[in-house]
Amino acid sequence: MAFPAGFGWGASTAAYQVEGGWDADGKGPSVWDTFTHQGGERVFQNQTGDVACGSYTLWEEDLKCIKQLGLTHYRFSLSWSRLLPDGTTGFINQKGIDYYNKIIDDLLTNGVIPIVTLYHFDLPQALEDKGGWLSEAIIESFDKYARFCFSMFGDRVKQWITINEPNILAIMAYDLGVFPPGVPHFGTGGYQAAHNLIKAHARSWHSYDSFFRKEQKGMVSLGIFAGWAEPADTNSVSDQEAAKRAIAFCLDFFAKPIFIDGDYPEVVKSQIAFMSKKQGYPSSRLPKFTEEEKRMIKGTADFFAVQYYTSRLVKYQENKKEVGFLQDVELQVFPDPSWKRLDWVYVVPWGIRKLLKYIKDTYNNPVIYITENGFPQGDPASLDDTQRWEYFRQTFQELFKDADPKVLNKYPAH
């Protein structure tokens, strides 16, 4: 299989997962530092990211790997609390600026395009103490942080991701409470956090558009996690509708407001209102955008960044009493027994093709960047990684079936 001309090959990392140096050179604590240091049943084997991959001190080794792989792009995230220890521009850590300047400059010197994520789940603890993503105050805090990063690095960084997987963050951190801050708010917290995440992204996009785009000429989007949902019984109307709801709650919940009209999908609004009423709530648990907010949110992405790993079969399952984001969707998800399993990822190559086709048709054929893809391996990972390259081989075969070489040449980071 030959790759099309202009095809971009990248790798992706996140600050907390690779940097280490959790309190080095003036860095402030993040919610993940606090959460893992507390230990207990919620933290696997009481492990922390205090050292992680040690990228804060071993960046030169990472760069060697990037060059050896022949990558054209490298996506990484900035640690908000390494740059702004208390989350505000009232306290700026120059050592943090120097660290990221070196990464960016080294990448460009070696012909690698940096794709920079502003926020990948590691909120400064000082801001979480003020309410985190449940508080509307976070919107202004994030916008100020984004402006700071654009001003510091935007002369060289031309592709920005504001927020990584806001849908996963909202559910895992503020609905289920299994991510920090670790406090569940079933059926309410996830929606409130999502509401603020969307507005924070939109505000920062407008800041870039108004104050930086003309000179820096970059692009800004957010990275949405999405898997494909296939009806378990293709002849069942209820399963078909459940699969549509699965995609609406996972992907369209964030994509439709940003790419289409500034508001949540109708099926999401009606489903949550229906479940809220059934459970005795006086009104829907989903917050509403004002008309002014809808206008502010609409059209705030310059490309579509999607993060795909796997797919699931979906079957309708009525929920009568349980309150929660996942319960609101009224479905059961499970794999086909024939699918190969690699931890939580089932190998479903055709899923990514169906997902991209859906995005193309639903969102007016946007430029799409696949900003994450792959599968997890146990520790220590085997160097005999035939499963890994087979996963990628099958995935790319699906991607390239209908690829237009002219489009790939025009947008080489696909």
Q: Which class for 30: exposed (0-12), middle (13-18), buried (19 or more C-beta within 10 A)?
A: buried
Residue carrying the six token digits 């289920």: 176
Token digits for 310?
Answer: 């796997």
CA distance 167 to 251: 8
CA distance 23 to 37: 13
User: How far is C-alpha 228 from the geometric centre of its chain's CA atoms?
Assistant: 16
Closest CA to 14 of 97, 120, 99, 106: 120
Active-site residue (options: 165, 292, 322, 330): 165
Exposure string for 71-93, b = 16+ CB within 10 A, e = fewer: bbbbbbbbbbbbbbbbbeeeeeb
241 part of the active site? no
Token digits for 64?
Answer: 């060697």
Q: What is the DSSP letter of 379?
A: S
Active-site residue (options: 19, 230, 330, 372): 372
322 part of the active site? no
Exposure string for 42-56, b = 16+ CB within 10 A, e = fewer: eeeeeebbeebeebb
**Catalytic residue numbers, as ranges:** 165, 372
